[in-house]
Amino acid sequence: MYLLVFLIGIGVLGYYLARTSFAGRVEQRAGRVAHAPKRWSENLADWWRGRFGKPPPADPFIAWARNQGFSNFPEDFNSWLASLSPQESHEFTLALQDYTGGLGFDLSSLVDNSLQNKPALMQVYVEAVVIYSQAYRRAKETRQKAEKTVTDDQEAKKSKEDKKTAEKQVSRRRSEIPEMAEAITTS
């Protein structure tokens, strides 16, 4: 009987803790802890490559777009592409390959110049790349703003919790002055 009451009590306590703000903090910490090994491994791999390895080879699409395909793309695309780091350009290329694969396009056909004799098809490929790059940039900027807002909110909440409000007390001097004045006048 006592065991049943104990188990029910533990269940109620667990439910209460899951529904309080404690659960939100635990969830945030668990998310950070879950992603930490991945970040550490990426940082270690970047450090190792920087110290001892060769820089990663440029993706064929990025190399083509920066050299031979430069004239096919608008200026803002070219400047954005030039501003990407090797890792960012690799991530963009992977995402672009998924996108063009979903459209039924083969991104490598742009690179190997098999579309030189088909200008209309090449224009369609280029437009698809430009449109996707705009959406990719907006999504990335929005994600960064959202993450920054979340971290700003967390920092503001933390600083608000850290601040201890001073309780206002009635000054003793002011409360003692009338008594002193009476004492002086009566003597």
Tally of structural domains, the chain: 2
Domain region containing 44: 1-54
Q: How many CA atoms lie within 13 A of 55 on its CB side?
A: 7
The predicted pLDDT at position 47 comes to: 79
Mean pLDDT of 72-101: 87
Same domain, 70 and 45: no
Q: Angle at CA 127, nearest 5°, toward 125 and 133?
A: 105
Per-residue pLDDT for 171 more than 60? no
pTM of the shown model: 0.52
pLDDT in tens, 124-157: 888 998 999 999 999 988 988 888 888 888 877 7
Among the ranges 8-12, 55-59, 84-88, which has the highest mean pLDDT value?
A: 8-12
Same domain, 91 and 42: no
Q: Is residue 187 domain-resident?
A: no
Q: Is residue 33 domain-resident?
A: yes
The predicted pLDDT at position 46 comes to: 76
Same domain, 62 and 147: yes
